Structure 1
Amino acid sequence: MKKIALLTISFLPLTFFSSCETANANPNVNQCMIQDLKILELEKENRSCQNEKNSLQSQIQVQKNAPKNEQDVFEYVGSNNEKATKKLFNFLKNRGFEVEKLDDVNFFLISYNEYTFFLEVLATEGLDRILVTKVFKAEKDVKKDDLIVLSMLLNNSFNVGIFNADEGVMILYRTMSFVDKFDLIEFKEFLKYQNSIDKAIISNEKTKDLALKLLK
């Protein structure tokens, strides 16, 4: 299948024991010193990694506490799908996303993180949703019935959206819900999560064989 949105680091203290304390019993004193230097280097590297970890944690905390940029918040109040989708298109385009309008349809194309999605806003007076559609192309001469079997298997194995089979393609529908507005960072993470889905499809014991056989 062709690829089309908490790291936890634990450091154990390193105790230093000088092997040179037994140098008088070992004629090779230079080798003893080299070993001690290696231990010192490991301790230094350990401290450096710990400092990097502390620095990263501080940066994350600063970002969490920082006020959100209003320009990076999408907001729509209403229940008109077409207007909401058009506003989302312009919102993403103005922030450097690669987007493309499609003729005679309400949804549009967006390319992000090496993937291409179809996007459409389903707006209501209450809970709004962004319908995110990902299309997987099937291998040549794969029958729709085989794709239907795969779609049922994927739906039973994962809780990430709805898989649906069509002629020559497998389609994944996911929805991101929001009430009137959402943060751009949240939206990016939602799109990036597709990478985790793809990996799961081809690594899960129940789905990988059929997925690799049928999908590009």
Structure 2
Amino acid sequence: MSTSIIERTASTSVPVISAIAERWSPRAFDAETTIDEGKLAAALEAARWAPSAYNSQPWRFAVARRGTELHAAIVETLVSFNQIWAPSAGALVVAIAENAAADGTPISHAAYDLGQAVAGFAVQAQEEGLSVHQMSGFDAAAMSEVLGLEERFTPFTVIAVGHLGDASVLPEALQERENAPRERRSLAETLIANV
């Protein structure tokens, strides 16, 4: 476990639940601790129960635990920057959008619904004491090949999930990012209208 954990709770303009305020995206994962299977299952179950238009549930997940061939193959699809830190995560989860039904009918809301499922995953993982970092930096075509996906499925993001590690194991530049203050645009700047 990390010996250099700093306070990462968001300074919110109004109170929010702790699983949201305390959620952040670390790159330092404990490379020795095996992921807690019950906690991982709970995060996946939370994703399963995400809202979805017409209850179509246009999402799929591929889970690869550290040390497996699939985990290594997923790491190979990541951009080099993510390959520096992501392999230490207890598991890599590929979030996949089902963009068309089996009969070819387009599912226009697939990306939106997948996002809700991943948000549920992230919040539940945080509540369970796991850390999550989502990545867009990967080769989607290579990932589709690794997973043997039909054309109607699109890998959207790779989620590193596991137990928080010590930032001191990261390269110096990443240590600085790991310890940098959390910043967000203000709520007022985010709202286009609020009447």
TM over 0.5: no
Flag the structure with larger Rg: 1
* Structure with the largest fraction of strand: 1
Q: Which has the higher helix share?
A: 1
TM-score, with length taken from structure 2: 0.24
Q: Which has the higher contact order (CA 8 A, sep 6+)?
A: 2
